[in-house]
Amino acid sequence: MKRIIRILPSILLVLILSFGLAGCQGTASADVQTVPEIVQPETPSLQQTQPEASVSEPAETAPEYITYKLAGYELTFVVADGYVDLLYPSIVTDSDAASFFAYEVEKYGSMLDGITYSFIDGGARINLPASVDRATAKSYVQPMFQDITAYVMMLSAPEKTEPIAEPVAVEEEAVAESVSYPFGIEPIIKNAQGDDEFDLFIVHTNDVHGRIAEGEDGSMGYSRLSTLIGMARSITDNILLLDAGDVFHGTNLANIFQGETVAEILSMLGYDAVAPGNHDFNYGAERLEEIASWAEDNASYRILSANITDEDGYLIFQPYQIYDFNGFKVCVIGLTTPDTKTKSHPNNTIGIDFMNKVVIDNAQYAIDLANEISDFVIVLGHLGVVPDGESGITSEYVCQNLNGIDLFIDGHSHTVMDGGEVVNGTVITSTGNYLQNLGVVQIHVRGNEAEITDVFLIPAEAVIDPSSSELFTALGINSIPSDRNVDAYVSEKQAKLDERFGAVIADIPMDLNGERADVRTKKTNLSKLICEAMTAESGADFTIINGGGIRASLAAGPVTIGNVNDVLPFTNIITVCSITPSDVYAALEHGYSMLPEQNGAFSQTDLSVIYSESAPAGNRIDKVMLNGMELDRDDQTTEYKVATNDFMAAGGDGYTMFGKVLSEGSMLNEVFMAYLAEKYPAR
């Protein structure tokens, strides 16, 4: 992925014009110590003077160099008797520096009288009154750097900046005329007919989880969706096609190719933007960055997230995109749940921050800026309506606390929101999951004014059989056939998949229940078998895993490798940890805390658990039995071996109760295949 912020070629004015969302963390070099509060000079206006002649200084009074990093650039302060030099990169002009000094005068007023500045080679010299000694001069440095950071953060008007990156050669119709926004984002022109009044349609999906083919968990399938979108585009160009995340991972057809299949299909359908969800990190952050980079260079869509930063505070993905419909500008901002840290394997997001302080502190500023540079603001967020992680951040929370968002396209909690809901003036909507519904938001545009006139869902049944739909019947649509190009592509990938996953490994005499609503609220015969297999293979005393890791049922009869991978798609490794009885209770209390609501962190275990669902959360577990013996809730010294998956051993789903890792074993899906093959041999 091309790191947007790392290619800033412009000035101090745009070093961090990051949509107010990241990249401005300053880190002092190792020799910089904590400095006292700034001491104001006794004499009073920061005026420009002629440069003073350079004078060599004796060693004992040699200047002291203090360097800070700002958005990948270095700012160096040279502290000497009587002056402080501010050295900045060549991309910063003297005019930029003069603007900053004017900002300082406006901020401090007469307190700066008696301090003057002049320009020197590579920077500016701040001349100090004789009454200011070197120690006091040094105390100015850190506050001045903080002022520089604040100054560039407050700059918002695009017309005040130069283009952030060299223009990229693109198709003429895809880029607005010589208009560049923060981060060098070029607006994508979707319709240039010049209509002053028209209807704009935001078409959206979320939490597809790789359900590519029709019929998978009620999916309408991408093939028919492609045809439907094509029909709509034959009528109007005023369509924006968005996905709110958890799209690249989830089934064999997606997983075996590490998301490539889905990435290609999204391009074939002409998606415009995707916000990465937590499960989109299941192949690791680097793989998701590869997909984003490929999409930027080869596909129609952009992967957008304005709150994902690396350990240096740089944005990893493009934060937003502007789309132009007849001069009406739509800004789409991506957001990703901070709970990705525990809702994907923690190793997948090492060195990545979803709650950068700059992001949080400047969130309202970002939305304000979005409203300045566009006419309609959409947040495409994988946050969910229901809080299911430690962060507590949901789409409703964001809309309650930020003003100026027109539409929030949501994902993550699999919530069906037909008609949407309004929170603080923002319309929030979501389709549920698995392509069981297609979301549509109709917006009437007149000049620069917009009004949301309709929010509705099109169910998969209507797409598969249009005669069952009043909408399609009224539109005269009698058939929505599959798209031959999509079908051909999927068939090619499926053939490669079948070669590997078509082998039958067992023949089971009963249905094994892995339904989402069941494995997230209670034990099932399938979860019991999985726990048995893990305990037997690992040599542990018992097993605790998360119900959310079980993703499908198994029907009675032949079981293939592919079937098992549908059940256990996350390529987890069986991990054995130490655990005390006290922590066993804590783990189970955590897993049972949301009952009767579904919870991906629900504890599936081969321990016997006696609990009260009606008791307060945190006090629901009455007894835990191991081989007929009750574990002592207060025992914090006895250690047992618990088998789990590497996701949970690393703190996934909020399980922080496991002790040190004792061993790591085989892939969970492979162990379960072997267990089924031994217990129920194929005929």
Three-state DSSP state, 14: helix
CB 239 within 8 A of CB 273: no
CB 258 within 8 A of CB 497: no
Distance CA 333, CA 405 (A): 10
Which of these ranges, 341-350, 459-468, 540-549, has the smallest mean pLDDT?
341-350
Q: Each residue of 275-309: pLDDT tens digit?
A: 999 999 989 999 999 999 999 999 999 999 999 99
- Do 441 and 488 fall into the same domain? yes
Q: Each residue of 648-681: pLDDT tens digit?
A: 998 999 999 999 888 777 789 989 999 999 999 9
The pLDDT > 90 percentage for the chain reads 65
Which of these ranges, 166-170, 183-187, 438-442, has the smallest mean pLDDT?
166-170
- Do 422 and 523 fall into the same domain? no
Residue 11 lies in a domain: yes
Read off the pLDDT band of 29 (50, 70, 90): very low
Residue 191 lies in a domain: no
Domain containing 583: what range?
503-679
Nearest CA-CA partner of 336 in 358, 361, 309: 309
For β-strands 64-70 and 27-28, DSSP reports them as antiparallel
Which of these ranges, 15-29, 178-192, 288-302, 543-557, has the smallest mean pLDDT?
15-29
Q: What are phi and psi of 591, to 5 degrees?
A: -70, -30
CATH code: domain of residue 517: 3.90.780.10
- Do 309 and 257 fall into the same domain? yes
Average predicted confidence (pLDDT) for the chain: 85
- Do 478 and 511 fall into the same domain? no
- Do 468 and 531 fall into the same domain? no
- Do 223 and 282 fall into the same domain? yes
Distance CA 19, CA 362 (A): 9
pTM above 0.75, yes or no: no
Q: Please state the rounded mean pLDDT for residues 126-136.
A: 85
- Do 513 and 632 fall into the same domain? yes
**What does the CA dihedral 525, 251, 344, 18 come to, rounded to 10 degrees?**
-160
- Do 135 and 226 fall into the same domain? no
- Do 510 and 568 fall into the same domain? yes
Single-letter code of the amino acid located at 584: V
CB 237 within 8 A of CB 326: no
What's the number of domains the chain is made of?
A: 3
Distance CA 611, CA 584 (A): 14
Give the DSSP per-residue string, 235-288. Answer: H-S-EEEEE-S--S-SSHHHHTTTTHHHHHHHHHHT--EE---GGGGTT-HHHH
Above 80 in pLDDT, residue 552? yes
What is the structure's pLDDT at 60?
Answer: 53
Residue 135 lies in a domain: yes
Residue 171 lies in a domain: no
- Do 324 and 268 fall into the same domain? yes
Q: Each residue of 626-644: pLDDT tens digit?
A: 999 999 999 999 999 999 9
Q: Each residue of 581-611: pLDDT tens digit?
A: 999 999 999 999 999 999 999 999 999 999 9
Residue 115 lies in a domain: yes
Distance CA 584, CA 657 (A): 7
Among 126, 158, 190, identify where a domain stops.
158
Nearest CA-CA partner of 250 in 677, 551, 492: 551
> What does the block give as tokens for 662?
């004792």
Above 60 in pLDDT, residue 564? yes
Between 349 and 61, name the one with better pLDDT: 349
Q: Which residue blocks in 515-654 are alpha helix, DSSP H?
A: 516-519, 525-538, 561-567, 581-591, 646-649
Among 493, 517, 542, identify where a domain stops.
493
Distances (CA, A) of 416 to 133, 271, 408, 437, 501: 66, 21, 14, 8, 33
Nearest CA-CA partner of 526 in 496, 566, 486, 495: 566
Nearest CA-CA partner of 42 in 113, 109, 136: 113
Residue 57 lies in a domain: yes
List the beta strands (DSSP E) in 138-247: 188-191, 197-205, 239-243
What is the structure's pLDDT at 106?
Answer: 76
Residue 582 lies in a domain: yes
What is the structure's pLDDT at 46?
Answer: 53
**Helices 668-679 & 525-538, crossing angle to 10 degrees?**
100
Residue 595 lies in a domain: yes
Distances (CA, A) of 185 to 18, 270, 319: 11, 19, 10
Above 50 in pLDDT, residue 172? no
CATH code: domain of residue 354: 3.60.21.10
Read off the pLDDT band of 53 (50, 70, 90): very low
Among 475, 493, 511, identify where a domain stops.
493
- Do 471 and 531 fall into the same domain? no
- Do 138 and 275 fall into the same domain? no
CB 66 within 8 A of CB 134: no
Distances (CA, A) of 519 to 292, 523, 559: 33, 6, 20
